[in-house]
Amino acid sequence: MRGEHTELISLGITTLNDINYYAVSNEFSEEGMDPWLQDNVLLKLPPKHTWKNRDTIKQEVSEYLIQTKTSGKVALFVGWFCSYDWYLFCSLMGGMLSLPVSVSQCPLDIRQMCIMNNIKVHLEKPKNAHDALVDAKWTKNLYLAYLATSV
Inter-residue contact 145 to 123 (CB < 8 Å): yes
Which residues of the chain, if any, have pLDDT below 50?
1-2
- pLDDT of res. 72: 80
- pLDDT of res. 1: 39
- pLDDT of res. 48: 97
Query: Where would I find the beta strands (DSSP E) of 10-129?
Result: 10-14, 20-24, 78-79, 108-109
Please write the tens of the pLDDT for every residue from 13-47. 999 999 999 999 999 999 889 999 999 999 999 99
Taken in order of first residue, the domains within the chain and their CATH numbers are 10-150 (3.30.420.10)
- pLDDT of res. 70: 83
Separation of alpha carbons 16 and 120, rounded Å? 22
What lies within 8 Å, CB to CB, of 102 at 6+ separation is: 65, 66, 69, 74, 75
3-state secondary structure of 75: strand
